[in-house]
Structure 1
Amino acid sequence: MTSHSFKVGQTVRLSQKTVGPGVAGVYKILALLPEEHGDCQYRVQSTVSSQQRVVQESQLSRL
């Protein structure tokens, strides 16, 4: 089992390369979710809107 690299409350960048320009940006981690296909997952919320999504750790980077 892989451990999460980010913590709840941490601010991260969602990569444009992995999700596209309309979704990429800065997000806050709301919850740690179980891994899927060897990649940890997170529930995140945009820092500029109320938009939430579930993303894979491989799509995130530190600010």
Structure 2
Amino acid sequence: MQPHGFSVGQVVEVHPGKHEGHVPGGIYTVERLLPNEGTDREYRVRNQKDGHERVVRESQLRRGASPVTP
């Protein structure tokens, strides 16, 4: 099993695919690494702007996002 590419507490940017319109893009914080057997790791992330949590795949995430400032 491959290790996750992101860690808990890391700030990431979510980039949903064109068929994933229900997932709002933006700046998120990784809350939990989820176990799965597939090649695309999954994460529980929290939106920094509205606080909503969701599950996203590693292919939807990008590094180097800046934290949202109030």
Residue segments in structure 2 that go unaligned for 5+ positions in a row: 65-70
Structure 2 residue aligned with 1:45: 46
Sort the Cα spacing of 1:37 and 1:10 in 2 relative to 1 into closer, same or farther, 3 A: same
Alignment partners' CA distance in 1, 2:45 and 2:37: 16
Alignment partners' CA distance in 2, 1:44 and 1:3: 17
Contact 1:11 1:26 in 2 (8 A): yes
Alignment partners' CA distance in 1, 2:34 and 2:22: 24
Q: SS where residue 59 of structure 2 aligns?
A: helix
Moved over 3 A (4+): 16-22
Q: SS where residue 43 of structure 1 aligns?
A: strand
Shift of 1:16: 4.2
Structure 1 residue aligned with 2:8: 8
Contact 1:2 1:35 in 2 (8 A): no
RMSD, aligned CA:
1.8
- Kindly name which structure, 1 or 2, has the bigger radius of gyration based on alpha carbons: 2
Of 15-24 and 36-45, deviating more is 15-24
Q: Percent identity?
A: 41
Shift of 1:20: 3.4
Residue segments in structure 1 that go unaligned for 5+ positions in a row: none
TM-score, normalised to structure 1, is: 0.86
